[in-house]
Amino acid sequence: METSGRACSLALAERTADRTTTRCEILFDMGPRHSEILKDACVFALRKCGWNKEGLDLCAVSVGPGSFTGLRVGIAFTRALAGALRIPLAGVTSFEILAESRRAQSSGTEGIGLVAVLLDSISGQVCAGLFKPGALRPASPYSVLKIPELCSRLGRYRAVEFVGDGFLRHRREIEKRLGPGRVRAPALPAVLKASDLARIARPPAGKKIRAPVLPLYLRPPMAVERMAR
């Protein structure tokens, strides 16, 4: 389940030893009203696949960064579902989901030194996750950066591929600072989807099977920041 933004998605997937196949995916735009449709969407997806909830063996959810309310609703819903079914719950970051979306779309990584997943933030900043091409583990800790600082960090790479709405918003400035010849982007913008999340979700290992899944916040909610000013 992916509820980190205005648009949400839910997918049912079947995993074998060598691949994960999406059996059903529902995308819907409910604005801030995620909780009003999640249960009905789950019931609809299960019926469409001819499955019952007792056949599920893993729940997975996006942990962000993203909408403060959307993340908490999605995590609370999947936590309750996993608890009721006594199955593991896995959390996957928005950065990892978009990196996987990029990997699935890409025809290759030749010449690309880094993949930069950028999520739009406020005050001219982006939430940044930097990955080696084809990798799903970040090359450095996730961070919140202004565009000049981001480009300074990326300056040593011959070519960088950018993914995410943060890049779409700041593309002109990034190309101006790095040079358009060093900036790559997929032909189709990557979007957060539950089907991409499903391909990379894995149950917690060993004794951490009941490990808590918590939202990933790289900065305080806007209301808290306003109060602190």
**Per residue in 38-79, pLDDT tens?**
899 999 999 999 999 999 999 999 999 998 888 999 999 999
Q: Does 44 map to a domain? A: yes
Q: Which helix (H) or strand (E) holds 26?
A: strand 20-29
- Categorize the per-residue pLDDT at 171 as very low, low, confident or very high, splitting at 50, 70 and 90: very high
Q: What does DSSP say about strands 125-131 and 114-120: parallel, antiparallel, or unpaired?
A: antiparallel
Q: Does 210 map to a domain? A: yes
- Residues 89 and 185: their CA atoms lie apart, in Å, by 32
Sign of CA dihedral 181, 131, 171, 147: negative
- Residues 160 and 178: their CA atoms lie apart, in Å, by 9
Does residue 200 contact residue 221 with C-beta atoms inside 8 Å?
A: no
Does residue 147 contact residue 173 with C-beta atoms inside 8 Å?
A: yes
Residue scoring higher pLDDT (28 or 32): 28
3-class DSSP assignment, residue 5? coil
What per-residue confidence (pLDDT) applies to 215?
95
pTM: 0.91
Contacts of 77 (CB under 8 A, 6+ apart): 1, 35, 38, 39, 61
Q: Does 63 map to a domain? A: yes
15 and 38 share a domain?
yes
Is the preceding peptide bond at 203 cis, omega within 30 degrees of 0?
A: no
CA atoms within 13 A on the CB side of 204: 16
- Residues 154 and 186: their CA atoms lie apart, in Å, by 18
Least Cα distance to 94 among 24, 143, 164 occurs for: 164
Answer yes or no: is pLDDT of 226 > 60. no
127 and 143 share a domain?
yes
Q: Which amino acid is at 89?
A: L
- List, in sequence order, every residue forming a beta bridge with 128; answer none if it has no partner: 118, 143
Least Cα distance to 108 among 161, 157, 175 occurs for: 161
Q: Does 124 map to a domain? A: yes
121 and 198 share a domain?
no
Q: Does 102 map to a domain? A: no
Mean pLDDT, the chain, whole residue set: 89
Check which CATH number belongs to the domain holding 208 and give it: 3.30.420.40
For 147, the domain range is: 107-184
Q: What is the number of other CB atoms lying within 10 angstroms of the CB of residue 65?
A: 22
- As for how many domains the chain has, the answer is 2
Cα 194 off chain centre by: 9
